[in-house]
Structure 1
Amino acid sequence: MTSSVHPPRPGPGGSSPDKLAFTLPSGRRRVTPARFGRESRRDRLLPQLIRNCLLDDAEQCVQVRLTAADAANPAARALLDTEAGTALHLHRVLDDTEYAALFPRIIGYELDTAEPFLLYAAPRGIAAARTHVMAATDQQRFTRDLMLALCLLDGLGLVPRGLSPATVLWDGAGVQLWGLEAVTRTGRPRSPWGRQPFCSPEQRQGQGFTDARDAVWSAAQVLYRLVTGRTGPADRAPADLGEHRVLDQTLRQAFAPRAADRPTPAQVLDLVAPGAARRVRLTLPPDEMRPHREAFEDSLRLKRQAPVARSEDGSGAAAGRGTGEVLCPYCLETIQLDLTKLFITDSRMQYKPLDLAGIKNPVRRNDVMRGAVQKCTADADFPEHFIPVPYLTYGRPLTVAMVGQSSTGKSHLLTQMIAAVTDGGLEPFGLKWQSVNPEQHARFVRERVQPLRSGQVLDHTAALGLDDFARFVESLLITDARGQVRPVAFFDLGGEDLVRTDAALRFLLGVDALIFVVDPALALPLPQLDHVRERWGVEVNRDGDLAFGTVLDRLPKNGPYLDVPAAIVLGKADLLRFQPPVDRWLNRPPATALDPALTHEESRDVYGLLRRHAGQAWLRPFDAIRRCTLHIASATGGQEAHGRYPAGAGPRRVLEPLLALLAMHGLIDVAGGAEAFAVGETPVIEAVPWEETEETAGSGGSGGEELQ
């Protein structure tokens, strides 16, 4: 990469330039004429291409892009996403500072397209790889600038894994650090990256966790190459390091094989430019989320101090169904197993009555029962419907209801959540799954999961249900680590259409867990979402999601808080994947254990984001429900174009909300217990026992009479 950007030549016959549409770092959209030069591969081992670009016949820049073929590879898209996220983060923090020139300046980006790209201002300098030996007068300035860049990244919790002579540019006066696609967060598991000897031994082997001192090794190797004209050994200090006095005095410890034995970027910077590290720290912006995080902690403290009302079964849901009775997932009336109403499908997929009298073998009988269904006749006016027998034979199902307006992406999120379960996502947590009815589950996979994974946009689910309020989606049998089996039923609530009917109230009396889905386009007045709002024809709603209030107002309440476990999910988070704190969580690898501390941090971050930008109305479920976690998720990983997802539908963090709910119901064991997982550890001075009095006993009954 060089600093020379020549205006691209017009096409044959002076053809007019292409129109290029992209998003600016501010979040606004720009459409402008663009001409392009010849392209080349930026790194022969990486998929990104680079070419000169002229915007509006005046503004010179470079475009980094993926071809459609390369963009079909999720790993290639992830690299470009990482590069864009890092460049935008640096732009937000450093754009108006003296340090901005140390990094590429991003002009725009367009990532949710068949051929995604980034636009940068023209690079400053030429790659250090093209310099054989650097003059002694330049070495100190080069070292200072390189350490300044590393110190700034360290202050932001970032580590540049790809630092090498090819990614460090020098123009004779200053450094510019490229290779942003290789930046990762401090503390993430290391993975092999880079070339010897510029990648540290631990990074090359993929051992341990990323550390800012990984980049110090790389910087030391780059400087040794520029001072001597040759590369050093890949696992130790060069044997002739003592012959180069300044390099030896400054960077000898930087060649230590273990990161723990190397100096930090700030320590090296203070050797070459005393006091510079302190000035860097003062440059970094203050923590604007602090008051919102403190408000979150205050809310949890109030929840811990509040009296706790428990239902008869201890689940937080009200009682109301007798022994052996379950709620029909379609008509929402109570039913129980009746062996005289069983059916199986014949070769033409038609239901025919099942007579168990002739089946004496218990193994075969159990197998037949697993595929059988029972005709529900609880509501004579409801269309004919059938319930899988296993749904009726393992006790009361755990009912999980998705809440949100129809445009929030609930169908996609729930489809990917169930698909993650059936892909084995619960196994690391000691849970196993089985379909309630193999035939129905196969149809769900065929009609919902497979089309979505192939990149199709799903239609809104039209299912048999209660006036479009509670639509049954799917059910699974979950076996916990103790061998106990429980059906888990998933419903989609169209809360804005809820009417005060007996059946709707009966359903809400028995709901066991709620997932409130927040649409960022409706909740967050951020400029980068304006284009999406315009395309979808929606506006910011400062009053919150109507469906949230509709459901919350109809839930039974036995104390100061509702006690049904809940999760708030900031859905479609790919729209905000470069926005703090979403960028911190969305790309985290899938969890293999539930860490209460991480769940607490994620909840606090999402609470802070919504409180700061959306307002308290969007946090009403958290304020109303005692046990409520908050999460970031994306069902598709990107936005659709012309009815398809260009990169396919790549889910991110779709299982975490369900894991939290299962933990709150005791199906997953967590450190400190389910209660502490939801509301945090309770200091002794906060403990307030619940003493039931005649007044409270009479005012919080769980029966349906008071709600009629």
Structure 2
Amino acid sequence: MTSTSQRGGPVAPDSPRRTTLAFTVPSGQHRVTPVRFGPESRRDPLLPQRIRNGMLDDEGQKCVQVRLTAADAANPAARALLDAEAGTALHLHRVLDTTEYAPLFPRIIGYELDTAEPYLLYAAPRGEPAGLIHVMGASDQRVFARDLMLALCLLEGQGLVLRGISPATVLWDGTSVQLWGLEGAARTGRARTRWGRAPYCPPEQRRGEGLVDPRDMVWSAAQVLYQLVTGRAGPTDRAPADLAAHRVLAETLRGAFEPLAAGRPAPARLLDLLKPGAARRIALAVPADETRPHREAFAQALDLKRQAPAAEPPGGPAAADRSGGEVICPYCLETIQLDLGALFVTDSRMQYKPLNVSGIGNPLRRQDVMRGAVQKCTADPEFPEHFIPVPYLTYGRPLTVAMVGQSSTGKSHLLTQMIAAITDGGLEPFGLKWQSVNPEQHARFVRDRVQPLRNGKVLSHTGGVGLEGFARFVESLLITDARGQVRPVAFFDLGGEDLVRTDAALRFLLGVDALVFVVDPALALPLPHLDRARDRWGLEVNRDGDLAFGTVLDRLPKNGPYLEVAAAMVLGKADLLRFQPPVDRWLGEAPPTALDPARMLEESRDVYGLLRRHAGQAWLRPFDAIRRCTLHVASATGGLEDRGRYPAGAGPRRVLEPLLSLLAMHGLIDVPGGAEAFAVGTTPAMEAVPSPLPSEAGGAGAVRAAGVAGGEAE
């Protein structure tokens, strides 16, 4: 058995079981305390988590540690399972901690997940597993059943379903129940996956069919109650034949053993059978809705944008496109045509050398060579030297996408994962296909950026000199839409503090088609959960917003009340807040397979409310200045780095959604109401964006860990 060091990593096997832990408590504060641990065992033979009792020495508080060894933590599915458990435990703590219902569930003390051996700490369990109870009187049976159904009602109200309820996870202390097994939580309405064991999991869950339903828990609870009363397990697919012989069971479990969820009663119905009216009297001490004024401010800002007329592109309609073989150079903004006498390719040392295509007689060979070539742009001799990929000059005007933010915001990681998601087929559900503009350049990008990041390596800062110090070209792709039209898309990284440049360099901004403003939560949000990250990176909260945002916005052309460039704001590094609403909700969402403008607007409202409430209006300047601007939650890496690596590997979430929004605004993805209406909310489906239901607030509990052995075993 290994113990745990202060950072959560392993120490020598022969070291004492007394050690020091550093972890985050539910309030977001950091705590360091000595701890002594007892023997360790598997939490469940088929699950990766291990469990051991402990004592926090500074308070003499008994605790239970649920952890993963380094070997188990190398499996992303095992980490996702522990993350899901942490999210569920923290959500229940947030909602129930000050209520009379808190003792029905485990009380989380703290967690440390971004480490080689992640773990959770709970207060000591209350009671013993129902499977160890041999005799229970009728009155206790009724109290046991009432508490169990009360717990199910509370879970249902939060949109959560515990899929692993069994005699091992329901504890009884002689007076009340405590329900464990939070690792099996799933969100109501998600696709079922195989989980649990017969007979305690319902038949459709055992088969992984249909959608998660609160009545799945009713079957499990009924099986636990039946075994508690009779001392034996019930049938796996129907009601026990002797149910009528047991009065308490017959009175309370009518219909609970139906093989399909649709035929079972809801938890509230069974609770009312045990204690009439109890379901209606559940009164959670839900805190006041502090986000309401910020949601209202979002609606008012959208109304102003809807009422404002759209301005023409600078230079008139003709500036939006060019004919006659001319395109706008994405750097100097002068027009440029294909010139076969000004072509270059790179040699083995990545140096430009002239390319003469006149001697290549084979047209297919010539086309292939030119695809990897660049043309030196001489349209503006006073502008810094720059080269344009030849496909830009053969497929028409490119769509330029620029990432904006300080150098510490994680732009490079986000853009790398965004392009990786595209090359993995992420655009295909939306009718788009991709091809590299320059195969050699793309292969180098994958080798130098994508593969190291996917292997968990922190990418180094990339800078440049001259123009590249301000606008660094990253990658370019050819995107084919559903109509068969091809358009080059170029990605640039605008250097943060390097934005204070000459006017010639800033002229690049006049030709940018789409902007991605990356918000670093450590800089923007004065939340205690981020203090540890700030300490590690040497950052402080900046109430004045990202200076790079202001530099870009002030240089963009403006012909009306709003800037007309398409934009997306991204709350990056969202994994740092993955257990906090509304971030937990959106990170827990499954990847979209269709672009829903109303859903996109709903996410924008939630992120707007979070930033306005905690960061202030200065951080929302891009949304306030740009007419079409959506807001998003994204995580490029999935967690904090540790010694230059991401312990869990770099697991991206929602990195493609900002780009999907920009492509929709530019008409490459068809959306209801058309590209012009997108992000402003003028279509009927987007007129009223609903507030999140209470059941939608606990997104972290929705993470499904398919592939973990115990989760799929029967």
Q: Secondary structure at the match of 1:129?
A: helix
- By how many angstroms is 1:400 displaced? 0.5
TM-score of the superposition, structure 2-length normalised?
A: 0.90
TM-superposed deviation, 1:468? 2.2
Per-residue CA deviation, residues 232-262 of structure 1 (Å, 9 max, x unaligned), is 2222222222222332232222222222232
- Deviation, 1:627, is 1.0
| Inter-partner Cα distance in structure 2 for 1:189 and 1:287 | 30
Worse-superposed segment, 671-680 or 591-600: 671-680
Deviates more, 1:236-245 or 1:47-56: 236-245
Contact 2:637 2:649 in 1 (8 A): yes
Q: What CA distance in whole angstroms lies between the structure 1 residues aligned with 2:255 and 2:130?
A: 23
Deviations 1:634-682 (A, max 9, x none): 1100110111111111111101110111111111112332234312235
**Per-residue deviation, 1:537:** 1.3
Counterpart of 2:62 (choices 55, 60, 63) is 60
Q: 1:267 — aligned with what?
A: 269
Structure 2 residue aligned with 1:197: 199
Q: 1:499 to 1:24 in 2, by over 3 A?
A: closer
- Secondary structure class of the residue paired with 1:476: strand
TM-aligned CA deviation for residue 613 of structure 1: 1.2
Deviation per CA, 1:6-39, whole angstroms, max 9, x where unpaired?
Answer: xxxxx99996931211111111111111111110
Partners of 1:371 and 1:327 lie apart in 2 by 20
Correspondence 1:66-465 to 2 at 5 A = 66-311=68-313, 319=320, 324-329=325-330, 334-345=335-346, 351-378=352-379, 380=381, 385-463=386-464
Residue 602 of structure 2 aligns to a residue whose secondary structure is helix
Distance 1:500 1:641, change over 3 A: closer
Q: Secondary structure at the residue paired with 2:122?
A: strand
Quote the Cα distance in structure 2 between the aligned partners of 1:158 and 1:242.
31
Task: Find the aligned partners of 2:604 and 2:344 in 1 and give their Cα distance.
Answer: 46
Letter in 1 for 2:674: G
1:33 and 2:34 are equivalent in the alignment:
yes
CA distance in 2, matches of 1:603, 1:138: 50
> 1:145 touches 1:174 (CA, 8 Å); kept in 2?
yes
For residues 102-149 of structure 1, what are the alpha-carbon distances to aligned partners after superposition, in whole Å with 9 as ceiling and x for unaligned?
Answer: 111111111100000111111111111222453222111111111111
Q: Distance in 1 between matches of 2:243 and 2:665?
A: 58
* Structure 1 residues 246 and 266: CA distance shift in structure 2, 3 A: same
Larger displacement relative to structure 2 (406-415 or 278-287): 278-287
Aligned to 2:514: 513
Equivalent position SS for 1:263: coil
Letter of the structure 1 residue corresponding to residue 121 of structure 2: L
2-structure distance, mates of 1:375, 1:52 = 68
**Once structures 1 and 2 are overlaid, which stretch shifts more, 28-37 or 344-353?**
344-353
Aligned partners of 2:315 and 2:451: how far apart in 1? 38
Decide whether aligned partners of structure 1 residues 470 and 499 sit closer, same or farther in structure 2, where only a CA change above 3 A counts: same
In the aligned structure 2, how far is the partner of 1:433 from the partner of 1:619?
A: 32
State the alpha-carbon separation in 2 of the partners of residues 442 and 13 from structure 1. Answer: 47
Question: Any idea what the Cα deviations from partners look like across 1:682-705, whole Å, max 9, x if unmatched?
Answer: 569x9xxxxxxxxxxxxxxxxxxx
Q: Which amino acid aligns with 1:447?
A: D
Equivalent residue number for residue 469 of structure 1: 470
Whether contact under 8 Å (2:607, 2:631) holds in the other structure is yes
**TM superposition shift of 1:606:** 0.9
1:516, 1:568 within 8 Å by CA — same for their partners in 2?
yes
Q: CA deviation at 1:363?
A: 2.4
- 1:588 Cα shift? 2.0
Superposition deviation, residue 326 in structure 1: 3.7
- The residue identity in structure 2 corresponding to 1:557 is K
1:188-237 alpha-carbon deviations (Å, 9 max, x no partner): 22211111122122222222222212111211121112122222222222
Change (3 A) 1:310 1:234: farther
| 1:645 alignment counterpart | 646
- Output the CA distance in 1 between the equivalents of 2:390 and 2:133: 75
Please, which moves more after superposition, 64-73 or 508-517? 508-517
Query: CA, structure 1 residues 47+560, in 2 after alignment: closer, same or farther (shift >3 Å)?
Result: same
Matched, 1:600 2:601: yes
Secondary structure at the counterpart of residue 166 of structure 1: coil
- The 1-side partners of 2:424 and 2:64 are apart by 41
Match of 1:703 in 2: none
**DSSP-derived class of the 2:555 partner:** coil
Aligned in 2, Cα 1:389/1:194: closer, same or farther, shift over 3 Å?
Answer: same
CA–CA distance in structure 2, aligned partners of residues 563 and 474 of structure 1? 24
Q: Per the alignment, in what secondary structure is the counterpart of residue 295 of structure 1?
A: helix
Question: SS at 1:678's partner residue?
Answer: coil
Structure 1 CA distance for aligned equivalents of residues 626 and 180 of structure 2: 47
Give the distance between the partners of 2:630 and 2:491, measured in 1 at CA. 19
Provide, for residues 144-187 of structure 1, a one-character-per-residue CA deviation record: whole Å limited to 9, x for no partner. 11111111111111111111111111111111111111112222
Mapped contact 1:329–1:472 kept (Cα < 8 A)? no
* Comparing 418-427 and 15-24, the one that deviates more: 15-24
| Structure 1 residue 384 displacement after superposition | 5.5
Q: What is the CA-CA distance between 1:295 and the residue it aligns to?
A: 2.2
**Is 1:586 the equivalent of 2:587?**
yes
Quote the Cα distance in structure 1 between the aligned partners of 2:349 and 2:555.
Answer: 44
Moved more, 351-360 or 457-466: 351-360
Q: Distance in 2 between matches of 1:509 and 1:319?
A: 12
- Secondary structure of the residue aligned to 2:649 is coil
Letter in 1 for 2:66: V
* Separation (CA, whole Å) in 2 of partners of 1:307 and 1:332: 26
Would the aligned equivalents of 2:430 and 2:594 in 1 still touch at CA under 8 Å?
A: yes
Alignment of 1:566-585 (within 5 A): 566-585=567-586
- How much does 1:594 deviate? 1.2
C-alpha distance after superposition, 1:613-636 (max 9, x if no partner): 111111111111111111100110
The alignment's TM-score, normalised by the length of structure 1, stands at: 0.90
Deviations 1:524-559 (A, max 9, x none): 111111111122111111111111111111111122
2:141·2:248 contact (CA, 8 Å) conserved in 1?
no
Is 1:188–1:210's contact at 8 Å kept on the other side of the alignment? yes
Alpha-carbon distance between aligned partners in 2 of 1:664 and 1:383, rounded to the nearest angstrom: 31
Aligned residue type for 2:156: D
Distance 1:86 1:15 in 2: 32
Distance 1:384 1:506, change over 3 A: closer
- Structure 1 alignment gaps of length 5 or more: 1-10, 687-708
What is the alpha-carbon distance in structure 2 between the residues aligned to residue 348 and residue 311 of structure 1? 41
Change (3 A) 1:266 1:374: same
Deviation at 1:312, TM superposition (A): 7.7
SS at match of 1:216: helix
CA distance in 2, matches of 1:384, 1:500: 16
Structure 2, unmatched stretches of 5+, are 1-11, 688-714
Cα-to-partner distance string for 1:462-515 (whole Å, 9 max, x where unaligned): 246526221111111111111111010111113543346443443222111111
Q: Which moved more, 1:222-231 or 1:515-524?
A: 222-231
Larger relative CO (CA 8 A, sep 6+): 1 or 2? Answer: 2
